[in-house]
Structure 1
Amino acid sequence: MRIGVVVNPIAGMGGRVGLKGTDGMVAEARERGAEQRAPARAIDALSALYERAPGTQLLAYGGEMGANEARAAGFDPEVVGEPEGENTKETSASDTREAVHRLISEGIDLLLFVGGDGTAVDVAETLSAEGSEVPMLGVPAGVKIYSSVFAVTPKAAGRVAAGFDRVEEREVNDIDEEAYRDGEVRAELKAIARVPVAESLQSSKQLGGGTVESLAQGVADDVQEGVTYVLGPGSTVGAIKAELGFEGSPLGVDVWRDGELLARDANEEEILAVLGDENVIVVSPIGGQGFVFGRGNHQLSPAVIRRSTVEIVASKTKLDGIGVLRADTGDEDVDESLRGWHKVRVGRFERRMLKLS
């Protein structure tokens, strides 16, 4: 099999520093101390591919847009082009589109890309413009993942790429990042793409529903003096913030202790700076997908998780659409520590057992 790989090396950089995306924000992300995320996730995916199918003919774009990661995973890739400019860490959408054009012109069987929804749009639109029926598969590395063309983890992407026998049409969605930073989600269907069929693909749907008032009251009732509460994004946890008596950031992470808001819309560094001896992360899974970490809340990093206990909350309606919980923090040890059965609070007193795998 001939697989083409393209990496967006800046994807996901804005997450841990609280930018909720990287589109047009690379310079600010770097000023805040952001580090690259996509290359390491690309190596994880390609290492899994190499382990299962070492004889794969791998084609890649140059530098950090694929070739470097392919070599780190054990491949000797055929390099089909190089990004423009001297700094391959500052690539653009036009670089991604040119990479896809070069790769599909070489007769590949699968386009494996690493990035987020914006990268997925660039790939899908280029394939469509070229009239190509080459299937695409995403390695999740962006802050926001609303499309259903991604595997659930980088390693899962490598396993899917190593052996699939059919494809299906799936949605490519993207959201307005400026509106997202202001607390509003404006998702838009951008394309329909051909994607390998596998159980380890995530859904595009982010479902909610049901009342959360009693759930929020239950969390507020159980608040303990001296404990620091790290409250994740979303409307469910937003109801808890309101019950605690403050207006939180709807799509950001807020930190609260003993009636005081310690940090609003905080990035990873700001969260770590105000943690206490006892810390509780309160987070709600993404409806339809089940992710509690690794999608839209990268501020809740492995370093934050290691210093905290985790309370998962969700309405009954949301849980009805989730078969399993998921975590994709980028740290395998942390993900492993989270696996197992969790008591998910669904009401003031009621909890439901759900497995994180």
Structure 2
Amino acid sequence: MNKPVFRLGVVVNPFAGIGGALALKGSDGADVREKALAMGAEKKANEKMAKALSIVEALSEQFTIVTAAGEMGEDVCASLGLPFEVVYKSASQQTEGEDTERAVQAFLNCNLDVILFAGGDGTARNVCKVVGEKVPVLGVPAGCKIHSGVYCVTPSAAGQVISQMIKGEIVSVMEGEVRDIDENAFRTGKVIAKHYGEMRVPAELTYVQAVKMGGKEDEALVLDDIAATISELMDDNPDTYFVMGSGSTVGAVMEFLGLENTLLGVDVVLDKTLVASDVTASELLSLTQGKPTQVVLTVIGGQGHILGRGNQQLSPDFIRAIGKQNMRVVATKQKLQSLGNKPLRLDSGDAELDASLQGAFTIITGYKDKVLYNAE
């Protein structure tokens, strides 16, 4: 009995990444693409897909490709002499995100083993909108923004993963997060990342990147991601008082919101409006009594305190009233790593309360990225 032929879907966003070299901070939108082309930008996405597919050239008798016409996949497959079938053709020369969606919609009727796509986070959003978790997907990084966890670290690495699949080698499947940032906000210096879903990603873990978390050099971006998460919480809870504890990380959230901040004090925000600054413990209790309230805290670097250092205005009576479930702790992973595995510290001034708060806290470390960390 003959071995079934491996069926690979290939789609390229030919305009992915054209705004990057010209500092246009992305390629989303026909006006941006037109501007980039007018400035002499070169389309590189097919070149990157070629690097991925060249890895599997020698296996061409073991697979067939389903693709879209022209620059959306046909051209690169033909240039490498790979077997392919075109199942979608765009009505216009300048393709849009909707064309990616229509192409992968056509792919869903073709009994594919995996879809390989070249683009950036916008392309990942288009693919996710249609495919979801129906078919495994793998991204060839070609865009200005690569925050999503569905991309390999390089085009050649993507080819290596597909090669393993074609040869029938064991390949793990993991959930890859699709994220994208608001390009207009990014052009003004703000990083507002949003979560758009998950897709199934074939993974040889050496090759598939984690969602960007930022290292030391990216700390400002990580702080913006943390702030964007708190901003969304406020959007979802407009009637909730957000008590902003002291510290530079909380200060970064306030700066993101465009609000004045008391670095070594406690402020109160309602519906993204500053309603009280540098409050005392009694003022805080009076203002929030009987009202939905959350508190945003950070970790004191090197020490690990989340209560009792610079935020004594958060009295035991206040913490008891809101409960542990309404304590939002924010910190970069770099700050947590600096603790050297030491626990978070609780020093509210009430030993019984501190004991009741011990155990795992959920720490917001990025945009919809959280870790569990123990407190004692």
1:60 to 35, 51, 67: 67
User: Structure 1: which 5+ residue stretches go unaligned?
Assistant: 213-232, 237-314, 322-357
- Give the equivalent residue in structure 1 for 2:113: 109
Secondary structure of the corresponding residue to residue 56 of structure 2:
helix
- Per-residue deviation, 1:112: 0.4
Shift in Å, 1:76: 2.4
Match of 1:156 in 2: 157
CA RMSD, Structure 1 to Structure 2 (Å): 2.6
2:18 to 1, 8, 13: 13
Cα distance in 2 for partners of 1:74, 1:148 equals: 30
Distance 2:217 2:112 in 1: 45
What residue ranges of structure 2 are gaps of 5+ in the alignment? 1-5, 166-170, 224-331, 339-376
Q: Structure 2: how far apart are the matches of 1:19 and 1:126?
A: 28
Which residue in 1 is equivalent to 2:236? none
Mapped to 1, the partners of 2:217 and 2:82 lie a distance apart of 49
Structure 1 residue 193 displacement after superposition: 0.7
How many Å separate the matches in 2 of 1:143 and 1:211?
Answer: 16
Q: Which has the higher helix share?
A: 2
Q: Verify the 8 A CA contact 2:49 2:76 in the aligned structure 1.
A: yes
Alignment correspondent of 1:43 = 50
Structure 2 counterpart of 1:8, one-letter code:
N
* Deviation for aligned residue 1:211: 11
Q: Which amino acid aligns with 1:112?
A: L
Q: What is the aligned length?
A: 216
Higher relative contact order by CA 8 Å / sep ≥ 6: 1 or 2?
1
> Letter of the aligned partner of 1:3 in structure 2?
L
Indicate how the Cα distance of structure 1 residues 211 and 56 shifts in structure 2: closer, same or farther if over 3 A, else same: closer
Q: Distance in 2 between matches of 1:143 and 1:151?
A: 15
Q: Shift in Å at residue 55 of structure 1?
A: 2.2
Q: 1:206 to 1:76 in 2, by over 3 A?
A: same
SS at match of 2:176: strand
Output the TM-score relative to the length of structure 1.
Answer: 0.56
The equivalences for 1:171-250 within 5 A come to 171-198=177-204, 199-208=206-215
Structure 2 CA distance, aligned partners of 1:211 and 1:32?
Answer: 29
Q: Does 1:72 align with 2:76?
A: no
Query: Residue 27 of structure 2 corresponds to which residue in structure 1?
Result: 22
**TM-score, length-scaled by structure 2:** 0.54
Identity score, percent: 40
Deviation at 1:209, TM superposition (A): 5.3
Structure 2 counterpart of 1:201, which letter?
A: V
**Partner SS for 1:163:** helix
Matched to 1:119, the amino acid is T
Q: Which AA in structure 2 matches 1:104?
A: L
Distance in 2 separating the partners of 1:68 and 1:211: 37
Aligned-pair distance for 1:68? 0.6
Please tell me the residue identity of whatever aligns with 1:184. K
User: Which residue, 61, 71, 91 being the options, matches 2:95?
Assistant: 91
The answer to whether 1:100 aligns with 2:104 is: yes
Q: Which amino acid aligns with 1:70?
A: C
Moved beyond 6 Å, runs of 4+: 233-236
Larger-gyration structure (1/2): 2
Question: How many Å separate the matches in 1 of 2:149 and 2:83?
Answer: 30
Report the counterpart of residue 31 of structure 1 in structure 2.
Answer: 38
How far residue 84 of structure 1 moved from its aligned partner, in angstroms, is 1.4
Report how far residue 182 of structure 1 moved.
1.1
Q: Which residue of 1 aligns with 2:129?
A: 125
1:235 deviates by: 9.2
